[in-house]
Amino acid sequence: MKNGYLNSKLPEKVCPICGIEIGHSKLFGYGGNGEYHCHNCGYFTITYMAYRLTPIINDQVAKQKISYHIRYNSDSENPLTLTKDNVQTLINNVELPSLSDQIKNLLKWFVKESENSLDTVDGTVNHLIAYVGCKNEEQVIQILDEIWKLGYIVMENPTTGPLREKPIFNIFAGHLTPLGIEHNFSTKPIIQQSFPEIEQNSIEDILNNNESATFEVKGSVQLDLNRLLKGDENNKTNKQIAKDGVLKTIVALLNSSSGTILIGVLENDKYTIVEIEKISYIEIKNYYIVGIEIEIENLDKYELTLRDLIAEHISKNVVGLLEITFPKFENFTICKISVSQTVDKWYYLNDENFYVRDGNRTVCLKGNDADDYRRRNSR
C-alpha cells in the first residue's frame, strides 16, 4: 500500500531528529519504523507517525529536546522507541540544560574522552550538540569558547583568537587544564554544597521577603534604569552599572553568608507611578517586576555577557560558586543568581575592592576594617 502517509518513508542517510549524517540506519518498509545510530543523538527507534505527525519534523526546540533526551536515556542495548504519543509527552516535559549545565556537560565529555584527564582529545562539533544540550553547532562553539576563557581547557586546534569570532568549524582538538579537572573532581570543600534555603522557594515566595543579608534585587545588569525612568528615557547600557550593582553584590555574598540575587526586579519605593508606567511591570508587595527583556531578550547572550563580566571583574574561578537560572513570572523573565559562600578564599571587585553584606546593604571595607573582618571570619 502506497497511499497517504504510507507513500513515504523515514530518511535513510540522515538522522530524522537532528538532520546530521548517520552511522547506521535500518528501515522497515514504507510507513514503517526505523532504527538509527546517530553520532549526535545516539541509538533510537522511531515510528513513521512520530516523524511525520509531531513537531520534531520542523520545530527546532522540539528536535533539541528529543535529541538531548535520547543521548542520556538510550543506548545500543536498550534503544528508546519514539512514538507519536511519547514524542509529544517528551516535548512537553523535557527541560533543556541551562548554560551552567551545558558547561558541565562539555567538561564531562572531555573527562570521558581523555584517559588521564590531561590528554588531548579530538572532537566533532555536530556530534556534541545533543550531549551538551545545545540548539546547533554555533552554540556548541560558544560553550567551547566559554570554558576556554574560564581557563578550563586549552584549545590546540583552532588555536588563536576568541572561538566565536572564527568561521564555523567542525573538528577541534584540546585538553583539560588542572583548573578544569578541579572543577570536575575537586575534593576540597571550596563550595558549600547547599544553596540558601530561599533558593528552593518560588519567585512569589521570595518577593514576600524584604531585602536582607542573603537577598537583594536589581533592576538590570548594565541598563541605566534611573536614566530610562527618571531622566531622558534613553535606554543606554553602561558597564559601570554592573560594577556598582550586580557584581558588587556577588562579591559581598561570596565573602559573607551566600544568598540570592533577582535581576529584573525593582523596589517600588524608588520609583513613582508616573515613572514606572513608562515600561511594563507587575507589582508584588514591595517590588515591581520588570523582567530582563527590557535589557536583552536573548537569554544565551544575556548569560554569556553576565558571566564574561563576572570573569573579568571578579574571577574566572567563580563559575562553580554561582547558579544562574531564568525563572518565568507571568510574561516576565527574571534572572536568578544563587551565590554559594566560599570557605577557602576571599574575593575582590577588580582585585582591590573588598565587599561584604551588612544587613540588607553591601559595604566596602578598607584598611583595618577589612583586616578585622577577615580575621574574625578566617578562611
pLDDT at 187 (0 to 100)? 33
pLDDT at 189 (0 to 100)? 32
DSSP letter, residue 217: E
Question: What CA–CA distance (Å, rounded) separates 335 from 323?
Answer: 10
* Residues listed for the chain: 379
33-54 burial: b if 16+ Cβ within 10 Å, else e: bbbbbbbbbbbbbbbbbbbeeb
SS3 143: helix
Strand order in the sheet with 80-82: 24-27, 34-38, 42-46, 80-82
* Ordered DSSP codes for 264-324: SEEEGGGS-HHHHTTS--EEETTEEE--STTT-S-HHHHHHHHHHHHHHHT-GGGGGGEEE
Q: Please report how the helices 99-113 and 137-149 are oriented relative to each other, as an axis angle in degrees rounded to 10.
A: 80
Question: What CA–CA distance (Å, rounded) separates 194 from 372?
Answer: 27
Question: What CA–CA distance (Å, rounded) separates 7 from 27?
Answer: 14
Q: Are strands 80-82 and 42-46 parallel, antiparallel or unpaired?
A: parallel
Strand partners, 25: 36
- What is the CA 154 to chain-centroid distance, rounded? 21
Query: Nine-digit cell at 159?
Result: 588555536
pLDDT at 320 (0 to 100)? 67
pLDDT in 10s for each residue of the chain, 379 residues = 333 333 357 888 899 999 888 877 887 655 568 899 999 999 999 988 888 877 777 788 888 999 999 999 999 888 999 998 888 889 888 888 887 788 889 988 998 888 766 788 999 999 999 999 988 888 888 888 888 878 888 888 875 555 545 556 788 888 888 877 776 654 333 333 333 333 334 788 888 889 999 999 999 999 999 999 988 777 788 889 999 999 999 999 999 877 899 999 999 999 999 999 999 999 998 999 999 998 987 888 898 899 889 989 998 878 667 888 888 888 899 999 988 877 678 999 999 999 999 999 999 999 999 999 998 887 7
Domain 99-185 has CATH 1.10.287: no
DSSP letter, residue 376: H
| pLDDT tens per residue across span 27-75 | 765 556 889 999 999 999 998 888 887 777 778 888 899 999 999 999 9
* Ordered DSSP codes for 81-97: EE-HHHHHHHHHH--PP
In sequence order, which ranges of the chain are alpha helices (DSSP H)? 48-52, 60-73, 84-93, 99-113, 129-132, 137-149, 178-185, 203-206, 225-230, 239-244, 246-255, 273-276, 299-313, 367-376
CB under 8 Å to 377, separation ≥6 — which residues? none
pLDDT at 29 (0 to 100)? 52
Q: Which residue's entry shows cell 524584604? A: 210
- CB distance 24 to 43 below 8 Å: no
The CATH homologous superfamily for domain 197-376 is Schlafen, AAA domain (3.30.950.30)
Strand partners, 350: none
Question: What CA–CA distance (Å, rounded) separates 112 from 42?
Answer: 16
CB atoms within 10 A of CB 347: 19
* Ordered DSSP codes for 99-112: HHHHHHHHHHHHHH
| pLDDT tens per residue across span 80-105 | 999 988 888 898 888 888 877 888 89
pLDDT at 197 (0 to 100)? 35
Q: Are strands 259-263 and 215-218 parallel, antiparallel or unpaired?
A: parallel
- CB distance 74 to 80 below 8 Å: yes
Q: In the chain, where are the structural domains located?
A: 4-93, 99-185, 197-376
